[in-house]
Chain A
Amino acid sequence: MTVARGSRKTPSASKPARKTASGSRNATSVVGVDQANARHRAALLEAMLRIRRFEERCVELYSAAKIRGFVHLYIGEEAVAVGVSEALTPEDGVVSTYREHGHALARGIPAEAVMAEMYGKATGCSGGRGGSMHLFDASRRFYGGNAIVAGGIPLAAGLALADHMRARPHVTCCFFGDGAFAEGEFHETANLAALWGLPLLLVCENNLYAMGTALERHEAQTDLAMRAASYGMVAWAVDGMDVEAVESAARRAAGAIRAGAGPHFLELRTYRFRAHSMYDPDRYRDKAEVERWKARDPITRLTDRMREEGRLGERELARLEKQVAEEVDRAVEAAEQAPEEPVQDLLRHVTSAPPEGD
């Protein structure tokens, strides 16, 4: 499952003793390890549930015209954002795409700030100027939803370049889709990052479709990890529907990057359960295929695994669901109540200088 390909440089083993969102993984006894693992899995589950329930509510709000614009849902791909984020520290940088609610929530941006942004409110994480496709949070080094396919990749290389030049031990993680493989900016940047040995983690969410065009209809060579490896970086493919596999791969890659092994590339094989943007007629894929992938739902997969191991009671699951539901409710309530950005401030933030007449 995690076969390294085309590896020119040998990544050093990742250090497992890193603080994560779910607490320390330091453990001194077998029992302690088991308990820590259980807690960690519960945290992974909670993070995925948060994204899933948040986005389900987005569908409802979009249908009620509370949210407008383009809204690209991540439902089905939650394991990728949650698993990769586990490998990142608060000092690391994240660059994302227009399908970034999951990345933003997994990065720790409060659901309230994200929902308010979807509502276009002043309290949104981009002050109502970005919307669903442009979530930002400088304090969490979350450099946004970039809505030009592959447009965020060069920028991520620059963030990594700054860390590299300043000898800071940070990783810049850049999410993009399989569609970005057809763009020059991916190839230019892969070459540049490998050439300069930048601390860049390239995370390709291969959900098999560039909008409505299937991978084999837009790429002559569909083995993406192999192609990334051709630039001289370590690259491998991972089951993107298994959050633990994703986390493990991301930790390994991030550890190697921090150790100075240069850029790494992960191809995460995943699938979006819903349309490209909110609603589409799904003319480009058949329902049987969608059902096959839904059977691999990353949330079901993790809960099943936890149940099998007797690590998840129904009461615990209900508690998590309730907690997440309340969080989403609060986010919606807050967004409803939040003030609009005043129209007089239209020209603010075009440049750093206050607009004329201020």
Chain B
Amino acid sequence: MAAGRRPREAETTYREALREALREALRSDDRVFLMGEDVGRYGGCFGVSLGLLEEFGPERVRDTPLSESAFVGAGIGAALAGLRPIVEIMTVNFSLLALDQILNNAATLLHMSGGQLPVPLVIRMTTGAGRQLAAQHSHSLEGWYAHIPGIRVVAPATIDDARTMLAPALTDPDPVLIFEHGSLYNASGELDASAPPVGLDHAAVRRPGTDVSLIAYGGSLPKALDAADELATDGISAEVLDLRTLRPLDDAAIASSVARTHRAVVIDEAWRSGSLAAEVSARIAEDSFYELDAPVERVCSAEVPIPYARRLEEAALPQTADVVAAAHRAVG
């Protein structure tokens, strides 16, 4: 860093950064409200909305019954009627109960109505494994949502993104799904107050490098960064690209990273078959074929419902060592 320290806020956590973003949204726009299971009195299943009920009251921090389809649908209706709802779904596995509303209504209404009905809705949900929550609370299904035209899918992986991605999501006229990886809530660090505002359109190079691109998002980003550290000790310069937005993908950023390094490792906690990693790999093959100096490597979860036992769960998930090994295979 150049001389002169940038002004930095005190250390914070990913969870607090999300909460601060919610607080700012609720303060700055009276059309915004938060609803979901246990977002109010309980303070959010993962503590994200703790304290917001006291500040904004039960109308705007609204506890819902366990009716994912009804309250996601209600969020869509409220968005149609001029409000800016933020709907929290406890985990991505539960979101399947609302899949009809997300796919058949939120993603299609604008097109089906010939452009008359945009749906400015934000849906937040937790995704991912790593906390021994077993096979109904641990999956990474954001790739399924990234399949759907008409919605935007984002995955903040850093404290800065946790703090700054909500505001542009709320100004987006279309539905935005925010995936928060469960293992990130306790991540701590300093917030870069002077960082320029970021949008939802671009991937970010989290670490530049020349020998191999480690392409990751969400909960896999820390693993990719750790792997890059380890590779550096072996003399391999790894670039780490954080996708940030899973739909629409930042094709230019992916192509330009591969053009620099000529090798790519895609890290995705979802299952490998039909995954977002598959999509990214296919785009590299389509857009950057003549840049490739090694086959694209993928590091994904084992094709198994995520098990409970710690050793088994760790074995099922992409680990830093797997990323390092894949990068070595690519670099040769």
Binding site for B on A (CB under 8 A): 93, 95, 124-130, 134, 136-138, 143-144, 146, 148, 151, 153-163, 165-166, 172, 184-185, 188-189, 191-192, 195, 348-353
Contacts and interface: CB of A to CB of B under 8 A. Distances in A.
A166 B110 CA distance: 24
B111 A155 contact: no
Contacts of B83: 161-162, 165-166
Given A151-B105, A349-B115, A159 B80 contact: yes
B110 A351 contact: yes
A132 to B, nearest CB: 12
Interface in B138-173: 149-150, 152, 172-173
A350 B175 CA distance: 11
Contacts of A130: 112-114
A119 B70 CA distance: 33
B59 to A, nearest CB: 6
Contacts of B172: 352
Given A129-B113, A151-B100, A159-B77, 11 more contacts: A130-B113, A144-B113, A146-B105, A148-B100, A154-B77, A157-B77, A158-B78, A162-B78, A163-B81, A189-B73, A352-B118
A192 B149 contact: no
B197 interface: no
B188 interface: no
A158 B73 contact: yes
A148 B104 contact: yes
B217 interface: no
19 contacts: A93-B81, A125-B114, A129-B113, A136-B114, A143-B77, A144-B112, A154-B69, A154-B72, A154-B76, A155-B76, A155-B105, A156-B77, A159-B78, A162-B81, A188-B70, A192-B67, A351-B152, A352-B172, A353-B174
Contacts of B64: 192
A129 B113 CA distance: 7
Contacts of B71: 154, 192
Nearest to A160: B77
Determine the interface band of chain B, counting residues with CB < 8 A from chain A: 35 or more
B117 interface: yes
Contact of B69 (A124, A163, A185): A185
A130 B117 CA distance: 12
B75 interface: yes
Contact of A191 (B67, B81, B82, B109): B67
A153 B73 contact: yes
Contacts of A93: 81
A126 B59 contact: no
Contact of B74 (A138, A146, A154): A154
A117 to B, nearest CB: 9
A300 to B, nearest CB: 36
A185 B114 contact: no
Nearest to B115: A349
Nearest to A139: B116
A62 B74 CA distance: 35
Residue from B70, B80, B152 having most chain A Cβ neighbours under 10 A? B70
Nearest to A163: B81
B296 interface: no
A interface secondary structure, majority: mixed
Among A128, A136, A165, chain B packs the most CB atoms within 10 A around the CB of: A165
Contacts of A151: 73, 100-101, 104-105
Contact of B65 (A134, A163, A192): A192
Contacts of A129: 111-114
B86 to A, nearest CB: 13
A138 B116 contact: yes
B267 interface: no
Contact of A126 (B76, B105, B112): B112
A196 to B, nearest CB: 8
B33 interface: yes
Nearest to A159: B77
B117 A192 contact: no
A154 B114 contact: no
Which 5 residue pairs of A and B lie closest in terms of their CB atoms, listed nearest first?
A158-B77, A154-B73, A127-B114, A162-B81, A188-B70
A157 B67 CA distance: 13
A265 to B, nearest CB: 15
Nearest to B117: A138
B79 interface: yes
A165 B77 contact: no
Contact of B111 (A143, A349, A353): A349
A154 B101 contact: yes
Contacts of A163: 81
Given A93-B81, A158-B79, A348 B72 contact: no
Contacts of B33: 165
Contacts of A157: 70, 73-74, 77
A120 to B, nearest CB: 11
Given A148-B104, A158-B74, A143 B117 contact: yes
Nearest to B77: A158
Contacts of A350: 110-111, 149-150
Contacts of A160: 77
A191 B111 CA distance: 30
A354 B82 CA distance: 22
Interface in B60-110: 64-65, 67, 69-83, 85, 100-101, 104-105, 109-110
B10 to A, nearest CB: 35
B105 A136 contact: no
Interface in B194-253: none
A163 to B, nearest CB: 7
